[in-house]
Structures are given as C-alpha cells and as structure tokens.
Amino acid sequence: MLVSLLVSLVACGGGPAADRARAEVQGLLDRRSAALLHHDATAWARTGTRTGYTGLSAVPLTAWSYRLTALHRTGATATADAELRYRVTGYDKVPVTAGRTLALSRTADGRWYVNSDRPAARSGQQLWDQGRITAVHGRHSLVLGVGTSTALLRAFAGLADRAVPAVTGAWGTDWARRVVVLVPRSLEDMAGLLGSPASSYRGIAAVTTGEAGGSGRTPADRVIVNPEAYAVLGPAGKQVVLTHETTHVATRARTTAATPLWLSEGYADWIGYLGTGRTPAEAAPELWRAVQDGSLPSALPADKDFGFTGDATELARAYEGGWLACRMIAAHWGADRLDRFYRAVGARPQRAGAVEDALRTVLGTDLTAFTARWRDYLRTQLG
C-alpha cells in the first residue's frame, strides 16, 4: 500500500511521468520547428494545427526553435509555456525571443498534438498571429505585411531603401545597414504587436522596438507602422518618419539608459529632416507657436514629455525641442561633434552625469550654458 502511494506521488509530481511528458512535448516542438525550417507542410501538419505555417510561409527564417519552460497537464490535454527563438535570414544577428502558450491534446495512440500557439500572457503578438504575411524584399529592407497590398508594401520598401543610405551617410557604417518594417492591418493590430492599448499609439505614424530582449543593444529591431496615421502623411512626411525610425535601428547599440530622449529622438529627427529643406518653423510648428506666444521653454525636454498617452501638443514640442537641440549642435559645433556627443552620452553606465560629462568633454560647455544657447537658438530660429 505504501509502495503504491509513493508511485502515485511520483507520477503526479515532478517524477518520471512528468519528465516523460515534458520530453515528449519538447520533441513535438522540435519536430514542428524542423518542419517549418525545411518548408515541409506535411511534417508540420503531423504536429498540429496548420495555421502558423500558412501565416509564416513567406518569411525567410534561418532559425526557429521552442524551449519548453512549463507543462500543465490535465489528462489527455495540456498547456505548454515556451520561449520561441527565431532569426530572420539576413537581418537578425541574434534570435528574437517571444513567450508563447500552446494548447495540446494527446491522441489515442499516445502522440501529442498542437491545437493552438498564441502569445503568452503579457507578451505582444507576432505578425503571423494576425494572418498570412506578405513579404517584399528591398535593396536594404524587408517589409512584412498582413492584410496589405503588395503595392503598398513595395512603397514602404522604397522609403526604407532611401532611409538606410541617408542614415549611414550621417551616422556611419557601424550598424547592419538594413531594416525590417512591419505593416499590420490597423492601429489595433499595431498595438497588438506592441502589447499595449491602441490609444497609446493613435496619431503615432511608426515606432521602433528592439524585440530580442529589449536591452537597447539588440540588432533585432523592428520598425512597426501605424497604417492609419501613416496614410495621412504626404510623401516628404512619410520619408522623414521612415528615416527617423531607421536612425533608431542604426543607433540602438549606442543608445542606453544614459541617453535622454531629447537626444535620441532629436538626433533621429535631425537625420530625418536632413536635405528636406524644411525650415524650423515648418518642422516645429508647436514650438513656433509657443515662442510667438512668449512661452519659451525654460529647460530641455524631460523623458516624461515624450509619453504617447499625454497631451499631443506637449509631445510635439518635446520632439521639436530635441530636434532643434541637435540641429543647434550640428550648426555650431559641427555634425561630427554631434555624432561624438551622442556616442559619448550612451557610453556612460548610467544617466546621472552622462550629458554633463559629454557636454564638457566633447562640446566644451556645461548644461547651464548649453540650455541658454538652446533657448537663444529657439528665439532666433522661431521668433
């Protein structure tokens, strides 16, 4: 009696039965991954639902694997928690990681089967979760879309292909010099990819996110488009936005917790507006109105001023103020010094003192004098 009780406890806990089930499920996920990488639709179908394969068939993949992290079994069904790791061929130097939850069932002959594969709790969707992906390859870009015409995706590839050389010309060659652009069907789908409410991105044309761990040093960045906000922009505005976001991809390795948003966003806008001929009043209309009204900012924009959920006018002024600060550095000290300043700030281990130290060592000034010069620059450029 005691022996049978002990056997029962081992089977229900973390003993041989549980270990065997985990090994079986991990083997299933390994076979599923191999089928996808080898473009074997039949082998994929033998492991479970075909939905993911259909959505992913156009995406060039170098790597795809699951690591089972937990298995919750109830009889012939189970829920598996897994870490998905994948790399897009030619674009990702390290794997993109994503939490996934898989619903499983066990057939009468003892084989496990994947019924569904969805984002884990608190994880954003992947583009294939939203439907079948269409891929367009540019010279320097890969554009992936769902529910979007091939013609529109080609237009995005053209914008990205112009953005990459423009960014390289200003920033240099120490980055991948290629970009992945995701074009979802709607604002709500964009928010789904980011794991945030749609209201956070209404009116925001695009964002860049480092998907492989979010460390700020990952090469696996994605430019994610809000198709609704993007559609209302003119040709020049569309190019500025794509060049701005591509700048974030290029500078990601040098952008750290020490980098204030006025510098990272301002620098991206500085490259975005290069060569457009836009005047400060045209590119910074909200700050222009503030200066005309006698409401000159007293300090450089704070990080909190860049929140998407705040006042739209304040957000615009924050971006414009950062752009004009970088424009001023390039005009007074030179574009090379602006580049060195950006890199020097990001090289610091923490925010405290990072800007002040770089101002002193690269630009030969201090924060008080720099802020005063910036305010004078706003007056002369926008007054």
E strand residue ranges, the chain? 61-74, 77-88, 96-106, 112-119, 133-137, 141-146, 179-183, 206-210, 221-225
> pLDDT category, 307, cuts 50, 70, 90?
confident
Where among 122, 140, 164 does a domain terminate?
122
Where among 122, 144, 170 does a domain terminate?
122
**Shared domain check, 216 and 145:** yes
Where among 217, 252, 287 does a domain terminate?
252
Dihedral angle at the C-alpha atoms of 134, 178, 226, 126, nearest 10 degrees?
A: 60
**Shared domain check, 332 and 267:** yes
**Token code pair at residue 133:** 């992906």
At 373, the amino acid letter reads R
Q: Which residues pair with 78 in a beta bridge?
A: 73, 104
**Shared domain check, 145 and 237:** yes
For residue 15, the model assigns a pLDDT of: 67
Domain housing 228: 124-252
Distances (CA, A) of 74 to 31, 261, 267: 23, 48, 54
Residue 189 burial by CB count (10 A; 0-12/13-18/19+): exposed, middle or buried? buried
Collapsing DSSP states into helix, strand and coil, what is residue 62? strand
Tens-place pLDDT, residues 155-184:
999 999 999 999 999 999 999 999 999 999
In percent, how much of the chain has pLDDT > 70? Answer: 93
* pTM for this model (two decimals): 0.91
**Shared domain check, 193 and 133:** yes
Q: What is the CATH number of the domain that holds 141?
A: 3.30.2010.30
For residue 14, the model assigns a pLDDT of: 56
Q: Which residues pair with 70 in a beta bridge?
A: 81
**Shared domain check, 242 and 192:** yes
CB 27 within 8 A of CB 71: no
**Shared domain check, 161 and 56:** no
**Shared domain check, 205 and 260:** no
Helices of type H across 259-311: 261-273, 280-283, 285-292
For residue 203, the model assigns a pLDDT of: 87
In percent, how much of the chain has pLDDT > 90? Answer: 84
Q: What's the whole-number average pLDDT of the chain?
A: 91
For residue 217, the model assigns a pLDDT of: 40
Average pLDDT for 332-337: 98
**Shared domain check, 19 and 43:** yes
Average pLDDT for 183-206: 93
**Shared domain check, 345 and 266:** yes
**Shared domain check, 101 and 72:** yes
**Shared domain check, 267 and 196:** no
Average pLDDT for 18-23: 90
Domain count, the chain: 3
**Shared domain check, 155 and 226:** yes
For residue 8, the model assigns a pLDDT of: 34
> pLDDT category, 312, cuts 50, 70, 90?
confident
> pLDDT category, 213, cuts 50, 70, 90?
very low
Does the structure show a pLDDT above 90 at 308? no
For residue 129, the model assigns a pLDDT of: 95
For residue 157, the model assigns a pLDDT of: 98
Average pLDDT for 322-337: 98
Cβ count near 325 (within 10 Å): 24
Average pLDDT for 24-48: 97
Question: Which of these, 214, 195, 194, 206, lies nearest to 239 by C-alpha position?
Answer: 206
Question: Which of these, 301, 149, 167, 274, lies nearest to 223 by C-alpha position?
Answer: 167
Q: What is the CATH number of the domain that holds 27?
A: 3.10.450.50
